[in-house]
Structure 1
Amino acid sequence: MTPLRIATLAVCIALLMPITVQAGSLEEDVSAAYAEWDTAFNESDAKSLAAFYTEDTLFLPANHDIIQGPVGVEEFFAGLFANGVTEHKLELIGVTSEGGLIVSSAKWSAQGTDDAGAPATFSGVATHVFEKQDDGSLQLKVHTFN
């Protein structure tokens, strides 16, 4: 291999390295945010959950309501908790970023009761748009699920 080819290969590898590091870090950041969100959910803490959302958040639950802002999010989750929904879990499917926005998808599941009062597992998929904050934390700008 010629010195020019070695230098070209080294530059290509160096250019790819930050992308690989960023992708791993991005997945770790979103997975950590999911873990914190699940913890608040599983403590039935609607107020703490609402703090994960930006002031101009758009929350689009499976019931087709359009909820804007943390207050609406808090009310939505308080209703779920009053109906005994627990044991929420988010599992990352994929993540990408553009500027200060991070878009991720996840499988979700939770436990509750069906219409007859029998134990039931609920599940689906969710899409999240996070906005990276100045302190490095992530807040949800858009959240939709089915």
Structure 2
Amino acid sequence: MTPLRIATLAVGIALLMPISVQAGSLEEDVSAAYTEWDTAFNESDAKSLATFYTEDTLFLPASHDIIKSRSGVEEFFAGLFENGVTDHKLELIEAISEGELIVSSAKWSAQGQDDAGAAATFSGIATHVFEKQDDGSLQLKVHTFN
């Protein structure tokens, strides 16, 4: 390989490195937010779970409700916990960043009971729009799932 080709390859790799590091960091940040969210959910703590959402959140659950407040989010999850939903898990599919907003998708699953009272696993896909806060934390601006 000629010195010119080696130099060109080195410059190309150097230009790509920040993108790879940035993408990994974004995935790590979103995965960490998912882990914290799952922890609050699995402690059946609706009040703590609501703090993961912005004051003006838009929460669109599979029930087709339109919830636009932290208190509404808290009420929704309190109802799930009263019905015995547990063992929630979010698994990141993909995340992209645009300024202070991060859009991510995830597979979700949880345990509960079906209409007949038998143990059941529920699952689906969720879409999240996080808003990066001044302290670097992520809060949910939009959350919808099926």
Q: Note whether the superposition's TM-score is higher than 0.5.
A: yes
- 1:8-87 paired onto structure 2 within 5 Å: 8-87=8-87
Unaligned runs of 5+ in 1: none
- In structure 1, what is the Cα distance between the partners aligned to 2:94 and 2:37? 17
Structure-2 residue corresponding to 1:102: 102
Query: Deviation of residue 136 (structure 1)?
Result: 1.1
Secondary structure of 1:107's counterpart equals: strand
- In structure 1, what is the Cα distance between the partners aligned to 2:34 and 2:23? 16
User: In structure 2, what residue type is equivalent to 1:84?
Assistant: G
Secondary structure of 1:65's counterpart equals: coil
Deviations 1:92-146 (A, max 9, x none): 1111111111111111011111111111111101001111111111110100000
User: In structure 2, what residue type is equivalent to 1:24?
Assistant: G
User: In structure 2, what residue type is equivalent to 1:29?
Assistant: D
Q: CA RMSD in A?
A: 1.1
Query: Deviation of residue 11 (structure 1)?
Result: 2.3
Query: Deviation of residue 77 (structure 1)?
Result: 0.2
User: In structure 2, what residue type is equivalent to 1:100?
Assistant: E
Does the alignment pair 1:88 with 2:67?
no
Unaligned runs of 5+ in 2: none
TM-score of the aligned structures, taking structure 1 as reference length = 0.95
TM-score of the aligned structures, taking structure 2 as reference length = 0.95
Secondary structure of 2:130's counterpart equals: strand
User: In structure 2, what residue type is equivalent to 1:143?
Assistant: H
